Structure 1
């Protein structure tokens, strides 16, 4: 059979060639995902861990001098820290001296730090655990931060509930979150966690976190999840 010239060329060009196979749905879904991965910007390099700012000694006549006079013989390190009303003084003391320092801070006539605003825990990893006490005087209108550190192996500090009743729930919460024990607390039972969860401390930095799951392919296709509840 003789075909017109144009049809003969088409027939000759297509002879021996298998018809194209359409891509499978899986392959079609992978192409947009691969393109999206190629177009995704590279992750920025991980920033270095922030370092603690250099410590600045309090100026002469600061509250730490009055505290040292009220608690003679107690070793303490004083430095300035930022606060809600500008800079204030922080002192670090050993846990063995904590009760003596807190008693002097509350009872000394020149200090009158009779209000515990809050206390909290800090995990410094290799440097151990820290308890931070924020004190305030309504009559003197000044503040003081008291800090003490303990090791992971012996995370115990004396309770100050006898001096500051407001410390009761703060100490229980800190025990829940950081595993720091407060010796002498009247009722050191879980405050936020279940009663049987006594060996899991959510705010410790050695607490395991859930791994991040990256969604690929079908999870990223256009319209995925629409209409789902």
Structure 2
């Protein structure tokens, strides 16, 4: 099992944003985290990554608990392209991550997959949103981490780039990587996911592998 969470709670002030949440993800699963904006998806991802204070009965990623040295290398997570260093270029980011995650992935392989040779040395601050999203995805690929946490990975991508991203995510799953990502794109979720978990009132309200029912479940749980 790649991710195991029991009774995770995250508060903002006195309010519980995540409330005794349980979640498990198996090796090679692609799991979509679904909920309306502002209801805790990013908070949960940050809590799993231990970027926000949280309490829990159990938190394990790839068999490692947070107090263990290898915990941080067992997953990769950047909330958005705004977390990239604006004065560094893609190549410099990838070299830094490759070293820290002890990855054996070759940079040229990442450049080829994402078709980003032409702007690999362009500083992040000079990139368009679409370029930054490619740079963000490149950081995930170079990490070679067994668990990947994405927050709205398709934002700012054109249809061609979405197709490339979907293919990469499916390829990563074929390599037994476990992926949890937040998304609102029902059609895209249906195309690439094994499971969908619906977040409501700080808990996983529903968990399904039936892609045909997710639109109706969304309407039932959140209206609209």
Q: Same fold (TM over 0.5)?
A: no
Q: Larger RCO: Structure 1 or Structure 2 (Cα < 8 Å, ≥ 6 residues apart)? A: 2
Kindly name which structure, 1 or 2, has the bigger radius of gyration based on alpha carbons: 1
TM-score of the pair, normalised by structure 1: 0.28
* Structure with the bigger percentage of strand: 2
Name whichever structure is richer in helix by fraction.
2
TM-score, normalised to structure 2, is 0.29
